[in-house]
Structure 1
């Protein structure tokens, strides 16, 4: 499981230092024949930002400092530090770590060019990703949007950079993006992309992505610029620094004069949303997520697994702050939710943490319930149980004529399973029961699990079919 964790960090630009044990230095390089010898760096090279091996005559502290600085500098990512057994026997001294950052090029000329493009655009859209949150630039983004009133869309990893309730936020872009976000990006004449990497889940058919727009791409990693989408103005910069300098240069009167009617049109598109069943006789997943949101505080951290529940959470939970959604957006790692939620609860004591999972994803790492019990973490686990690997079933329904294969999940009684681990367990079949168990569960201080038995064949909408343009959105069956 370690390699897929490294790959997840690599795809989501998470700073991670992996300290791996290795056999003693003098017996290395024996063609893999020494006991427990493995070419760890060779096996993981494609999913690492950097790899280091510390030998007995080298200083562990210096190597660790170097590894940490590489992991966090520029575009964050995983770094492997191999320690041989004879190295790890050496005594170490106390060492103070000082983080260093690379100096980026001057932004003055780029800001001026971006300013001219923005002030003359008639249909501008801002597209933000995880880079805005990683840079600490969410507040700066909100100030720019307040000044300019330019509509904003986000990637999955950019959720929380602007409040879900902000009138100028159109929602998530891409395959499961909102109608308004996909429509606006398709028809805009200027796309200002900040801290994004244009993954296939965002672009749809590349040749049809935002076809009429000029494009600004701001990213701290120069390798990401012009890699997938050709842009008119490439800017290598920290997202927060760019936003701060931009807001001091813009003339909001020019923007509102040119783009006023466009802003109104984009706001109107927000009214087009998929409908879902709200009857009390059946429990819809959308209702569950909204109930969890309604009963949570603004500083609650929500962690999801991967599947339909991940997208329902993105659409129906009212995120208001950055770093309150933790999810595997780049690789889509099933089984990610519970371990990540445990890590979040341990790292930020005192803040509530909710883990939203599905009956398929949860069973990949459910043994970690014992860790939550051991440390009595204030973790609330919500399992949306529909009896399927829901996202795979949805694809088989829509694109393979309902020829279902290997998608039916046989699950235990999750509430009873939780109790066997020493976790308080609840279940709900209707919306009224869901309200009651959420109220009761949220009053408990230790780990709690709630099994929500939702409708079996509910689909995630909107959805853009594969190899289609983003404006070709399916809103319902």
Structure 2
């Protein structure tokens, strides 16, 4: 979670509150002059702008499941942070945003120059003002609890001299109702009955499984039931990629096996997912023959896109924990054994979409990175083709090791979020995978990586294009390219200008040598890979098509 505070807030009061509340690391901008007192024991990481500071706190929160904290000023400090707050809101990441104006301004107009609560209302879970520093600690505690209770999300506190007339917004729709508010007196018994009788069940897992800490319970159910599993982009890591029952990611860029299994299943158990357009494809033909169980902590997500036959408002961990001891696993295997063999076989028999004849394929780079990285490596991506190649080919085995902007698709997220993850786990290897377009959004944060000697290994797949947009123009607009060709610096040499070792590779052999050397180096390293320009991400579901109508290759 993230906290934004003004210059006018006395550091000693704020940091004493953070210390008492268990905060161990904060983020801010280098030009805000925020310095925690030594006796507080709180570390401070200063980034180059407000958007990066919020992304860093976001990365910290995703990697740890604990609060991240960032101090910012008001006015442009808030407008610069909007993208970061919206990114966290889209992916249900807990932030506490303390937006501060000077407490004793000489110009009263300055203090009221922006309607901060109004500006951020659509992208926050709660908003409220305070004007008395004596109440800061209890208000922070309240905000921290609000941001993590129920479905996580950003909470905003505005600190001003005079909050008369300032609105307080605590969105009723975001407060969890009791289970009695949705008729489901026998939801566990019904879910148990359906799962035991289903001939073609599939578990569809999302980010809610990871944020609730339910991965262990999920894996236990899958081990005993042998129900095939598919995931959203945000659910990657909840199941081990090497598990034969994990069919991969579902949706527009999902695997052949995952999309086919969901299309043909007779029971879809969806947990902690929101059915975005990237997952469903053509809504009217999404999993057409299945009963649908939808488990989500936010009732607003249920029946919003895909109608649920059994809607269950519940925390994912609570649901799976109760379910695992109630299921008759023998009955499940008895009815679904043939289906499991068929679904798992699709992983082996599908025409391969992950091979390329190019000189240095991006798939090869990702697979080589995975080969030389450990299971504890935290991988952070930007947004684009490299994001999907990483999701498909890195083979994650643990929760909270894949951090990416899923809902908003924020280019420029990768490097600052990786800095946040590195601040959380300075002893771990943090791998930031980016593209030449995304990396240029916030490349100034290279100086931050140098300043703190962070264990960042940056891998840039340089194909000279905004790759995902170019791919759509090639496949769906008859190859008419417009505004997708990029001009980029020589990234490895640019890294050296910042004081970071830079490596460059344009063949598979060079890539292996670069990755081996880069991952062994202590401190930040940038590895640039000159990959083929017009390599596409496959599979891909064309616009307005069903998920089973996917394209596997050119």
In structure 1, what is the equivalent of residue 298 of structure 2?
221
Gap change, CA 1:416 and 1:254, over 3 Å in 2: same
* Residue 428, structure 1, aligned to residue 502, structure 2: no
Gap change, CA 1:417 and 1:263, over 3 Å in 2: same
Deviation of 1:431 (Å)? 0.4
Distance 1:405 1:278 in 2: 25
Gaps of 5+ in 2: 1-79, 164-174
How many residue pairs are counted as aligned between the two chains?
460
Tell me if structure 1 keeps the 8 A contact 2:105–2:111. no
Tell me if structure 1 keeps the 8 A contact 2:176–2:297. no
Distance 1:322 1:438 in 2: 24
Tell me if structure 2 keeps the 8 A contact 1:22–1:37. no
In structure 2, what is the equivalent of residue 37 of structure 1?
113
In structure 2, what is the equivalent of residue 17 of structure 1?
96
Gap change, CA 1:198 and 1:259, over 3 Å in 2: same
Distance 1:151 1:185 in 2: 10
Question: Cα deviation per residue 1:394-426 (whole Å; 9 max; x = unaligned)?
Answer: 001011111111100100100000000011100
User: For 1:219-368, what aligned pairs fall within 5 Å after superposition?
Assistant: 219-271=296-348, 272-277=350-355, 282-368=359-445
User: TM-score by structure 1 length?
Assistant: 0.93
Pick which of 201-210 and 106-115 moved more.
Answer: 106-115
Of 451, 458, 466, the match for 2:528: 451
Deviation of 1:26 (Å)? 9.1
Tell me if structure 2 keeps the 8 A contact 1:52–1:67. no
Tell me if structure 1 keeps the 8 A contact 2:111–2:161. no
In structure 2, what is the equivalent of residue 73 of structure 1?
149
DSSP 3-state at the match of 1:426: strand
In structure 2, what is the equivalent of residue 181 of structure 1?
258
* Residue 212, structure 1, aligned to residue 289, structure 2: yes
* Residue 46, structure 1, aligned to residue 122, structure 2: yes
* Residue 469, structure 1, aligned to residue 546, structure 2: yes
Distance 2:106 2:120 in 1: 21
Distance 1:263 1:374 in 2: 51
Deviation of 1:103 (Å)? 9.2
Distance 1:273 1:83 in 2: 58
Tell me if structure 2 keeps the 8 A contact 1:274–1:461. no
Deviation of 1:273 (Å)? 4.7
Distance 1:14 1:129 in 2: 14
Distance 1:316 1:165 in 2: 11
Gap change, CA 1:35 and 1:111, over 3 Å in 2: closer
In structure 2, what is the equivalent of residue 98 of structure 1?
none
Distance 2:178 2:432 in 1: 38
Gap change, CA 1:239 and 1:103, over 3 Å in 2: same
Of 355, 374, 385, the match for 2:451: 374
* Residue 3, structure 1, aligned to residue 82, structure 2: yes
RMSD of aligned Cα (Å): 1.9
User: For 1:435-446, what aligned pairs fall within 5 Å after superposition?
Assistant: 435-446=512-523
